[in-house]
Structure 1
């Protein structure tokens, strides 16, 4: 390579190289003062191999695409299955994987969203989330000191479903201590609240037999209270007592105790908040709908006097 005089040990650029550097300098100058000429860098893509060994470009869905897919499924559930909740109900979102789980978590925690939509996102997370989401859930519970109680409960239940039971077991232990207080005028509200949460948390975290115990204890306690209070207060207590039998029926159904489940279910229909339409679609009661005498039972219940529907679902 021919060199020209320059500092010792430095090779001077050849003419062709010098011209190239000049062109690059001019281009840099133009781009610096003409931002409109700059091109956006291409989006990064991942390369994955298909079954034939040919690489293909795949991109994670953006937020708008995720929201569209999520809303379509949530709308379908609201339209077709709004009275029931069962495992795998949001199965259409499962193939979207971790991005969908993360987006559902964001929307669930967004307090500006309608409550019903947030609840639907929480339900969908039970189907879509995997153990990969655990660190984000733990971080949320650890850093958000003002998280709503119901939202905290949903996240703790989600962790339990994903195999992380530390928080749920600690919470259950605290509630068991609260429920074990000696009942008196001062402690009754606290005991009833603890039993309500115990029944729900035990059931939803897979402790169905223990959930039965909590529901039955609450039924017995309400019955005892109803026998001691003023007459005008009794109807509300009895109505609540009847409604809890629906939860009891769901527990017995999942445990395979169908006769107990049918008995509890029939009792629950005496409550103003429990309707036969719920019974016909509830996933927890599916074993009962497979019984030979189910059709006759439904016919008998359908002929019973109708009640005014209650807007609040007891489950």
Structure 2
């Protein structure tokens, strides 16, 4: 049985705290045994949750021996992290404990130095503050969650549920995770058969936008080695104009958009086919297996092989 310690910090967001408690507590293995023991831990016996007060059964010593530590979001994400909480989280990380954050809980991990040099996400309203306050973190607001192996972060409250189901899937496999998802009235897979661990499109292109035909053409030619000049020629504009219009309407550049589209297509092929990683990389337009593996891991946090093992 895995042990999950959930830290209740000051001004904790009730939904973010309740989600991992509910999901992990109700997870059952095929033989009916519980999959997790859940501890609610706090520095003080009582924690302010806004409309009510939480009494925690465990102090910060509850983090010791836990397989997973979860930091829920707080209403004051930029509030200082106390020395005791900072020490407890750093010691847990040093001991190899898996540590995950929900929503603005990412700020707590950042303040402890656990996200330096890593890709991470948080609630979209807080993304700019996170990026400005912690420039060593690669902040990605366009994903449900990021799995760096030991350290994981999720976006808003609903994405926290996605992350919990993802960790259950890692621990016990798809069947157990699917049962947990049903109990939560939550699909384990997103619309279109994609697993939850997906990379969202950037800002949707407005209906009737001049970019719509170009984006359709890019999707149809995703396997080709396209250059910026070739894309601009197809659009009938200069490269500079194309980049400006792309940023205005999608929030990214043409080549970055194309790379993300290739990764999304690769995810689908890894989940639904038995094609080799090398073949998939070539199918979606990467020039070499090494380039494919590097881009895929930077985007999803997993290697193509690890992604297939987790989501097939």
**TM-score in terms of structure 2 length:** 0.32
Higher strand share: 2
Normalising by structure 1, what TM-score? 0.31
Which structure ranks higher in relative contact order (CA pairs < 8 Å, sequence separation ≥ 6)? 2
